[in-house]
Amino acid sequence: MTGIDYSQKIPNNVDLKSDKRLQRALERWQPDYIEWWKEAGPTDFNANDVYLRTAVSVDRDGWAHFDYVKMPDYRWGIFLTPSEEDRKIGFGDHYGEPAWQQVPGEYRGWLRRLIVTQADTEPASVEQQRLLAHTAPSLYDMRNLFQVNVEEGRHLWAMVYLLHSYFGKDGREEADELLERRSGNADHPRILTTFNEPCRDWLSFFCFTMFTDRDGKYQLLALAESGFDPLARTCRFMLTEEAYHMFVGQTGVARVVRRTCEVMNEFPDADPREHGAIPLDVIQRYVNFWASSSLDLFGAEVSSNSANFFSAGLKGRAHEEKFEDHLAQDAEFELERWKDDQLVRERVPLRNAMNEVLREAYIADNQKGVEYWNRECEKAGIDFRFTYPNRRFHRTIGEFAGAHFDPEGNPIDERTFAERQHEWLPTEKDRDYVESLMKPVTEPGKFAAWIAPPLRGINGQPIEFEYVRL
Ligand SMILES: [Fe+2]
Ligand SMILES: [Fe+2]
């Protein structure tokens, strides 16, 4: 069954109405969710019509439907990709056994933890971005922000469905707590650091959707391999939505770069700031900050948790089918470690390096995005190239936390880092400047001076379409 039943209070393709208890539990959670949205989401725009995409079926091309909707009326629901007949577990100690349709008792704790950690990031990002609409550089961008926000809300629904239907009372308690933690709240913060970082300006938003949402993509790819079939199917559908978030980030930064290059060509002797653009080195520092912070989200390079999750068949590698050996039993993985203030190459059991395997795939994907920005510079004939910072730079989790490295990954002492970090990370002056540019532009088809228009509009609509009715 791939059609979505929209006649229900909670749209779904999981035949929710046949499970009255679950349906009632989710219908009880629903008003709390709406209350959370109204309090912690983009509060001041709840009465406006926004041109949004909603899933109408989970078929390959039938799931995107565009229309004006007020955000609190968005049909958040529960959508899983159809089940694969006789699906087998694709990796780890249970390789080749039938995928689990129920939570395997011995892994209940680990599985719940994996789901809660993923779930917590979804509402967190909505909270981080809740004030951005007030300074949107265009209606097109404002609409994209809202699209990302409602879909993160739906991802929360996706995870809460799993908690409610498979984890009983403690699952329901976890679902309630997901609405109680708040991004950046000192007493009750979100679980992961990056999701407590303020995201006050649009350059941060674009970097966030480029790097942090892409972490989401890779976590979802790894969970989409899970032997726990409902989790795998949930994550597969989430991935179709996630792709758009990264498009927003990648093209968003590219448009900022394009605009700056235009200004640099028009006024070669001026500081781009004089003409309201963002200097390329400032953009690079924002990139360095969000890229390094997002690298932390993969966890420690050598990790017994990652080995446990892999062995148990709960969390695989991205595109597990591309690997030859799905057991990773006796295999080793060579990586760089930081020992006695030295970089040393070491071989560790592959299962303990699964975080690093996933991080590597993620880094390669990011690098392509950075090259895309560099093509903007090339096309404009501007002699500047963006770089993706080395994975050791500015880390607070794992092997390289506590030590200091430059963006090329060379070890440096604390003093050098302190003296030079203004070259590498956004300074107060950078932030003040970027924030000073954050003024709303709400006339259809008009864009703020620091960002170029997109190449095309949404769903074949023109760029000057009224994407949000204010
Ligand atoms: Fe998400
Ligand atoms: Fe996302």
Give the pLDDT band of residue 126 (cuts 50, 70, 90): very high
Residues ≥6 apart with Cβ < 8 Å to 58: 2, 4, 13, 79, 80, 81, 82, 237
CA neighbours closer than 13 Å in the CB half-sphere of residue 357: 25
Domains (range + CATH), the chain = 16-469 (1.10.620.20)
DSSP class of residue 85 equals T
Residue 121 has pLDDT above 60, yes or no: yes
- The fraction of the chain above a pLDDT of 70, given in percent, is 98
Give the pLDDT band of residue 246 (cuts 50, 70, 90): very high
With beta carbons less than 8 A apart as the criterion, state whether 434 and 203 touch.
yes
- Please give the mean pLDDT across all residues of the chain: 95
Between the CA of 119 and the centroid of ligand 1 the distance, in Å, is 8
Residue 2 has pLDDT above 60, yes or no: no
Pairing of β 342-349 and β 404-405: unpaired
Between the CA of 156 and the centroid of ligand 1 the distance, in Å, is 8
Look at residues 380, 341, 153 and name the one whose alpha carbon lies nearest to residue 256. 380
Between the CA of 304 and the centroid of ligand 1 the distance, in Å, is 26
Token duo for residue 242: 């996630």
| Nearest ligand, CA 212 | 2
What is the per-residue pLDDT across 367-387, written as a single tens digit (0 to 9) for each? Answer: 999 999 999 999 999 999 999
What is the per-residue pLDDT across 330-371, written as a single tens digit (0 to 9) for each? Answer: 999 999 999 999 999 999 999 999 999 999 999 999 999 999
Q: Report the pLDDT value the prediction gives residue 64, as an integer from 0 to 100.
A: 74
Residues ≥6 apart with Cβ < 8 Å to 26: 10, 16, 78, 160, 161, 164
**2 vs 277, which has greater pLDDT?**
277
Kindly list the distances between the CA atom of residue 242 and the CA atoms of 124, 228, 247, 330, 342, in Å, as whole numbers in the listed order: 15, 21, 9, 34, 38
| Nearest ligand, CA 211 | 2
Which region, left, alpha or beta, applies to residue 448 given φ > 0 means left and ψ of -120 to 50 means alpha?
beta
Average confidence (pLDDT) over 237-244:
92
Between the CA of 342 and the centroid of ligand 2 the distance, in Å, is 37
Token duo for residue 87: 């699906």
Give the pLDDT band of residue 54 (cuts 50, 70, 90): confident
What is the per-residue pLDDT across 434-450, written as a single tens digit (0 to 9) for each? Answer: 999 999 999 999 999 99
| Nearest ligand, CA 152 | 1
Between the CA of 470 and the centroid of ligand 1 the distance, in Å, is 26
What is the per-residue pLDDT across 179-235, written as a single tens digit (0 to 9) for each? Answer: 999 999 999 999 999 999 989 999 999 999 999 999 999 999 999 999 999 999 999
Measured CA to CA, the distance from residue 14 to residue 279 in angstroms comes to 50
| Nearest ligand, CA 159 | 1
Between the CA of 151 and the centroid of ligand 2 the distance, in Å, is 7
Between the CA of 334 and the centroid of ligand 1 the distance, in Å, is 31
Between the CA of 213 and the centroid of ligand 2 the distance, in Å, is 5
Measured CA to CA, the distance from residue 365 to residue 155 in angstroms comes to 22
Between the CA of 324 and the centroid of ligand 2 the distance, in Å, is 30
Q: Report the pLDDT value the prediction gives residue 1, as an integer from 0 to 100.
A: 43
**83 vs 163, which has greater pLDDT?**
163
Least confident range of 63-77, 87-101, 132-146, 257-271: 63-77
Look at residues 389, 311, 292 and name the one whose alpha carbon lies nearest to residue 354. 311
With beta carbons less than 8 A apart as the criterion, state whether 385 and 374 touch.
yes
Measured CA to CA, the distance from residue 43 to residue 180 in angstroms comes to 17
